[in-house]
Structure 1
Amino acid sequence: MKMSLKKIAKALLITSFSSAMLMTTAHANNPPPTIKADAPNRYTVKKGDTLWDISGRYLDSPWRWKDIWATNKQIKNPNLIYPNDILILCVIQGKTLIGVDTGEGCAGIEKQLTGKVSTNAVAITSTANSVPPIPLSAIQHWLDKTIIVNPQDFNTTPYILASKTRNLITARGDKVYAKGVPLIVGQRYGIYREGELYVDPKTQDVIGLEVTQVATGLVTSTETNGVNSLQLTDSYGKEVREGDRVFVELDKAIAPVFYPTPATVTRGGMIVRVMDSISSAAKGSVVAINLGSTHGAKPGDVLTVYQKGPLIRDTKDNDTPVRLPNEQTGMVMVFNTFDQISYAYVLDSELPLNVGDQLLPPPYL
């Protein structure tokens, strides 16, 4: 069950040859990142900063931050940045770099790069309290208990039949009954609420079902008529309802820290949903995209959003319809991936982003 629930129904649309060529050209053409003219020589990291914000202070293309980051070889997790760290801009061996000032200025950064430090021990730094790539509060809901499953598999799992007290509202400690295949006595199971059905905006194929875990229950008994008894051990802000589904908890571990980097996906994609029931997305919004782990998408991947050019009439050519070029309208960063769908956070947007907008890895500008 665990493996089949992670498989999404059908393969998605294949992007055009020109899109693939654009991706290939973008990664082959890799000049050094452009430092902003007003980039600070020193910057003190503040609580509430994000890695994207800090990168944007120094670079015209903030996803290129790793290209100028002076990695300290004596630090495990050397890319972590913390509040009150002092970042300094240095030119070392002809390259412009940014690193954390340890008190020796750029001379200390050079020592870190070359490994010429007083100890060979590797210091281990904690991810706790480090600066996140984006505001975690904006994505927490989509990290914790929401997953994408195959709708056909979902509909074969046991369903909640009733509660012991026949109450509509249930909570931790209550007993509920689920009907379906026998569950394992003593095993913990997740209880999931059916949500949004994902449909590809171009092909109209069903490509996945979003479900949210509302509770966890411990199986206390099973009956020959297919009724399983569960004691609710945890609830997650919602009541358990008749019709909710029961299956093994899908513990999808998310890396505690990820970094914005140019995506290396195998094809282009599209926005398939704007979350939170709004019609268009802006900076700080969350969207679902039809690129998943099977296409090489991973947390931290940055993608450029392109809006389809409008169709206009050429008044100098007998009102012939002409499609204007697609225009870059924003950038998104993947933070949670499934087989063929991912959730992404909108880093920037010049115009509202909509379902159907195209996605490609960012070109090196």
Structure 2
Amino acid sequence: MKISLNAMAKALLMTAFSSALLLTTAHANNPSPTIKADAPNRYIVKKGDTLWDISGRYLDSAWRWKEIWATNKQIKNPNLIYPNDILILCVIQGKTLIGVDTGEGCAGVEKQLIGNVVASTVTVTSTANSIPAIPMSAIRHWLDKTIIVNPKDFNTTPYILASKNRNLITASGDKVYAKGVPLIIGQRYGVYHEGEMYVEPKTQEVIGLEVTQVATGLVTATESNGVTSIQLIESYGKEVREGDRVFVELGNSIPPVFYPTPATVNRGGMIVRVMDSISSAARGGVVAINLGSSHGAKPGDVLTVYQKGPLVRDILDNDTPVRLPSEPSGMVMVFNTFDNISYAYVLNSELPLNVGDQLLPPPYL
């Protein structure tokens, strides 16, 4: 019975979102993106600009920016934009494109775009100081030290038993003792504090546990009774407490540069948490969504947020309650993915975004 119910729920979900998914997979057959009427012919990139903001200057559908970007074939990282670059609007071979002016105007952009490329002439460009897709300062905390793990795995790891000085709270420079599976002497380990548990709203199934690294320690000794001595060598703004877990530091797999693109996830999703807030999110905020790598989500994916329509009464039909259609209320971009959960940055919002708001790939038309 459980299998059939899950199958039915999946079928209903896929039916509800199928039309939006068809739009994302068939984009090649859609018209070219529309350039804004007030798009600048010339724009000088400034420090503090983001790729999303620049795209929004030229397109109503900012997530389609790659379709109008004149990629330089002589550059290994052709999508990077830097402060003081001069962007110009050009019509090349009947298409309206944006490129970086090298001093020759649109003729130079066309030369970069269609010129023959010899392997030895390709220039490798650094990602350092390039314009980010979104403000890195807004997402740094959720990139560096916060991860989603399997709760069952987390609960099998060694835990902080006590500190050398028997303090309840410890930090960098202190010695602490962990109990559990013996750790390797000389090895660095992370100390993680347990945070939010994530539950799939429709099934109430636990899909992840959020944990935050609060310190890094070096194992100095192990005892036969399972107690390990750890010297804390770095702390990250929070105290190490009894009960915190210890395991190998998990590396950051986020690409150094990512670009906003329409999501190609295999189902719709919803906002399951508003980070650092008890209510709603607005532009510049961070939310957790129930779409992860297992659903095809990846850094750079853009999703439209839909707010459920209000329930009204039909006065000509005996006050029968009628649910109005869901309406778009904003857009988010995924920047960090885990198996079943992702963190996403709020690109824009017409209305406050709330837990339970639905997510779909943005339409092209």
Asked if these proteins are the same fold (TM beyond 0.5), I'd say yes
Where in structure 1 are there 5+ consecutive unaligned residues?
Answer: 1-9
CA contact (8 A) 1:111 1:117 kept: no
In the other structure, the counterpart of 1:352 is 352
Kindly tell me: are residues 17 and 165 of structure 1, through their superposed partners in 2, closer, same or farther at Cα, counting changes over 3 Å?
A: same
Kindly tell me: are residues 156 and 120 of structure 1, through their superposed partners in 2, closer, same or farther at Cα, counting changes over 3 Å?
A: closer
Partners in 1 of 2:330 and 2:216 — Cα distance?
39
Is the partner of 1:37 in helix, strand or coil? coil
Partners in 2 of 1:272 and 1:364 — Cα distance?
26
In the other structure, the counterpart of 2:26 is 28
In the other structure, the counterpart of 2:113 is 113
In the other structure, the counterpart of 2:304 is 304
AA aligned opposite 1:56: G
For each residue in 1:21-74, what CA deviation from the matched residue of structure 2 results, as whole angstroms up to 9, or x when unmatched? 321134325221010000000000001000000000000100000000000000
Is the partner of 2:110 in helix, strand or coil? helix
In the other structure, the counterpart of 2:201 is 201
Residue 151 (structure 2) pairs with residue 166 (structure 1): no
CA contact (8 A) 1:201 1:355 kept: no
Is the partner of 1:74 in helix, strand or coil? coil
CA contact (8 A) 2:264 2:361 kept: yes
Kindly tell me: are residues 121 and 281 of structure 1, through their superposed partners in 2, closer, same or farther at Cα, counting changes over 3 Å?
A: same
AA aligned opposite 2:16: S
CA contact (8 A) 1:292 1:339 kept: yes
Once the two structures are superposed, the pairs formed by residues 166-315 of structure 1 within 5 Å of their partners are 166-315=166-315
Residue 119 of structure 1 and its aligned partner are, at CA, apart by: 9.9
Q: Looking at secondary structure, tell me which structure has more helix per residue.
A: 2
For each residue in 1:53-96, what CA deviation from the matched residue of structure 2 results, as whole angstroms up to 9, or x when unmatched? 00000001000000000000000111000000000000000000
Is the partner of 1:131 in helix, strand or coil? coil
Residue 118 of structure 1 and its aligned partner are, at CA, apart by: 10
CA contact (8 A) 2:219 2:229 kept: yes
CA contact (8 A) 2:195 2:211 kept: yes
CA RMSD of aligned residues (A): 1.7
Q: Write out the 4+ residue segments of structure 1 that deviate beyond 3 Å after TM superposition.
A: 116-120
Partners in 2 of 1:291 and 1:143 — Cα distance?
17
In the other structure, the counterpart of 2:336 is 336
CA contact (8 A) 1:309 1:324 kept: yes
Partners in 2 of 1:321 and 1:170 — Cα distance?
57
Instruction: Give the number of equivalent residue pairs.
Output: 355
CA contact (8 A) 1:74 1:120 kept: no
CA contact (8 A) 1:185 1:219 kept: yes
CA contact (8 A) 2:23 2:364 kept: no
Residue 318 of structure 1 and its aligned partner are, at CA, apart by: 1.5
Partners in 1 of 2:217 and 2:115 — Cα distance?
52
Is the partner of 2:240 in helix, strand or coil? coil
Partners in 2 of 1:259 and 1:62 — Cα distance?
11
Residues 120-129 or 34-43, more deviating: 120-129
Where in structure 2 are there 5+ consecutive unaligned residues?
Answer: 1-5
In the other structure, the counterpart of 2:82 is 82
